[in-house]
Structure 1
Amino acid sequence: MLYQLLFPLRDRFFAFNVFRYISFRTFSAALTAFVLTLLLLPIFIRKMKNTVHTERISEYVPQGHKKKEGTVTSGGLVFLPVVLISVFLWAIPWNPFVYLSLFVLLYLGILGYVDDRLKKRGHKKGGLSQKAKLFYQSILSAFVLFCICRLYPPEYATSTQVLFFKNVFLELGVFYLLLVIFVFVGTTNAVNLTDGLDGLAAGVSLPPMAVMLVVAYVTGHRILSHYLNILYIPGIGELSVFAGAFIGALTGFLWFNSYPAEVFMGDTGSQALGGSLGILAILTKQEVLLAVAGGLLVIEALSVILQVAYFRSTGGKRIFKKAPLHHHFEEKGWAEPKIVVRFWIISLVFAIIAISTLKIR
């Protein structure tokens, strides 16, 4: 919006020329989202105290979590609108990649909110069933694939870029829909599973989001994409603004979500956050790179899959004391802040590795 209003005035006032730079608008979107989240979250926390938007503690988590009972949840109701506002202010308004990413954000945010409401009102103990979530995520995946086929040349629409090779793409054809579903289901569930300790999900999601910001910028830059042998996609650099807004909002949210947390993001936030990482990877054709950048999220999800599979195949034996993995370390006696900070560090290492692969080709 600001680009449309102020950039045409650059001849009258030269300073407005900065709006042509994606880097400036990305930083501005991040700062706007950060400040708005810092201002709005305290109001939300006060208003939501003693309402249905407070945490219920599951019987399956460590007993130390009982003290979190009553903490305000559904914090995504604040930082998701903040992302929307920041993107509308600083991104080029007619960019189709931005529109599609915002649609995914809203779609999964609403799905997560419905899940939160069902849990808190007690209609369904576990909220939406996994089958229901998979159904709605599959519908989203089909819509995203339809849009991609309209936006991309046929030779790239249903392909994904292979790591470590120059301009090598794996063409999947109709099976690309399965990859899109897998990415959305994987990212949303991985973030949701990781959202079990104060500051954990938000903190470990920041490094992969930063990686996707860099990837979006490079993919939309003709010279840099050619230098790094990455597919050049005109206009996709605007997704840097989207990722920047998310980084700002997440950082502001982390201010109140850090130990001891005053607010949790809930499924409203975790579904939309995971889906946003997914759509950034899908649109930039870097689905495999996201698995590296979000390596910690992958490990958390795998710990649950392995635990369940081993438990069923052995008649009740477990690999971990509890799953996801962060609960295993809690049961071993690690302090919650120590687990969180160490997981942040691991997530940062994965992000550095992911960025390094852009040059190793």
Structure 2
Amino acid sequence: MLIILLKYLKNYFKYLNYFLIDFKIRSMMTLITSFSITFYLIPIFIHYFNKNKISQIIRKDGPITHFTKKKTPTMGGIIILLSIFISVIIWSDLSNKYILYILFITFLYFIIGFIDDFYKIILKNSIGLTAYKKIFLQSIANIFFILSIIIDYKKKLYIQFIIPFTHHIIIYNINIILYILLCYFIILIMSNAVNLTDGLDGLAIMPIIFIALGLIFLSYLTGNIYFSKYFNFIYVENSTELIIICLSIIGSGLAFLWYNAYPAKIFMGDVGSLPLGCLVSVIAILIKQEFLFLIMCIIFIVEFISVIIQIIKFKYNKKRFFLMAPLHHHYELKGISESCIIIRFWIISLILIFFTFIII
């Protein structure tokens, strides 16, 4: 928004215009803005929720240790998303179509997450929206987004696969139906996977920060015509502007982690986890790096698969494959401390980011 405004006022603020339009300055200010907003507002949010006794609803079949968290405020994702939206609107180039796509679908997921958390608080249960209702709402948002980019790309629907540890990169121009299904399931699975992973203090937000760092690197390579050619990436014009969004995720995420680290003073809730999972997925789709993105997200994917395995196993013979799903609860019940599980998941997530860079 600031860039558009300065374009109209460039004759009046010549030097200020040059200073603020510079991409490095905007990147730095995005990080500072998103961090500052979240860091300042979270304590106010915590105080308000404590005063009104709005807190996390603990699942009845969850680990016993989690019942000590029942008075912890939830829905901190409201502040995370508010911080991201404000910093992106101020410092990004809103004439960039990718920014508008991302803000729109993220807002839709924010609404879905808000409704889910609201149901939990009002109905006093840990279920919220049923799985079918949630998937239905997510599907509407996903299809609307995918159809929008298909119209914009004018049927140039490329998917890029990278063969690990080689210089050979395969680029496929795929069928439109296959492309829709692939994008649909990436967004749907990743948004819900982040939601499922967000069960321990700081467990989900730190991997999201790491993934955002990885997406900064990929957005820069795909948005630079020389680097994209050198690495044999698909060149995506103007995709470097997505770095602004990635930095807003990092800034707000780090500030939130300050209060969400073990022992957490606040949880992000579905209103945070669902749109954050959607947000990073959409960025990966827009820069045509779905394959590398899935490698960076293995932690979330494993958590999601553990739930699917548990459901199938229980329906088949009424027995559980894990002591409890998602996977982090299984390790809790095996006696591993919460802080130990969190740190180890963070380490694995960081290793996956480095592994992605090595593949490139």
Which bin holds the TM-score, normalised by the shorter protein?
over 0.9
Q: How far does residue 16 in structure 1 lie from its aligned partner after superposition?
A: 4.9
Calculate the TM-score normalised by the size of structure 2: 0.93
SS at match of 2:85: helix
Residues 106-115 or 177-186, more deviating: 177-186
Structure 2 residue 352 is matched with structure 1 residue 350: yes
Aligned residue identity for 1:182: F
Shift of 1:310: 2.1
Distance 1:263 1:123, change over 3 A: closer
Question: How many residue pairs are counted as aligned between the two chains?
Answer: 355
Note if 1:97 corresponds to 2:98.
yes
Alignment counterpart, residue 229 of structure 2, candidates 226, 230, 245: 226
- Segment of structure 1 superposing worse, 204-213 or 102-111: 204-213
Give the CA deviation at 1:6: 4.8
How do 1:1-361 and structure 2 match up within 5 A?
A: 1-6=1-6, 9=10, 14=15, 16-51=17-52, 53-122=54-123, 126-156=127-157, 159-164=158-163, 165-166=168-169, 168-169=171-172, 171-313=174-316, 315-358=317-360
8 A contact 1:118–1:128 mirrored in 2: yes
Quote the Cα distance in structure 2 between the aligned partners of 1:50 and 1:187.
Answer: 34
Amino acid at match of 1:42: P
- Percent of pairs identical after alignment? 34
| TM-align CA RMSD | 2.0
Structure 2: segments with no counterpart, 5+ residues: none
Q: Deviations over 1:48-71 (max 9, x none)?
A: 114363111111211000000011
Q: Which amino acid aligns with 2:3?
A: Y
**C-alpha distance in 2 between matches for 1:124 and 1:260:** 23
Contact 2:162/2:170 (<8 A) preserved: no
Distance 1:273 1:46, change over 3 A: same
Aligned partner letter, 1:33: S
| Unmatched runs of 5 consecutive residues or more in structure 1 | none
TM-score by length of 1: 0.92
Q: 1:243 offset after TM fit, Å? A: 1.1
The one-letter code of the counterpart of 2:159 is T
d(CA) in 2 for partners of 1:123, 1:69: 11
Q: Alpha-carbon deviation of 1:318?
A: 2.5
Q: Distance in 2 between matches of 1:232 and 1:347?
A: 27
Deviation at residue 293 of structure 1 after TM alignment: 0.6
Query: Deviation digits for residues 234-258 of structure 1, max 9, x if unmatched?
Result: 1121111011101111111100000
Deviations 1:289-323, CA, capped at 9 Å, x for gaps: 2110111111111111112222222x233222211
Q: After the TM superposition, which of the residue ranges 244-253 and 6-15 deviates more from structure 2?
A: 6-15
- Partners of 1:223 and 1:204 lie apart in 2 by 30
Bigger mean CA offset, 171-180 vs 36-45: 171-180
Over 3 Å counting, the alpha-carbon distance change for 1:257 and 1:123 in structure 2 is closer
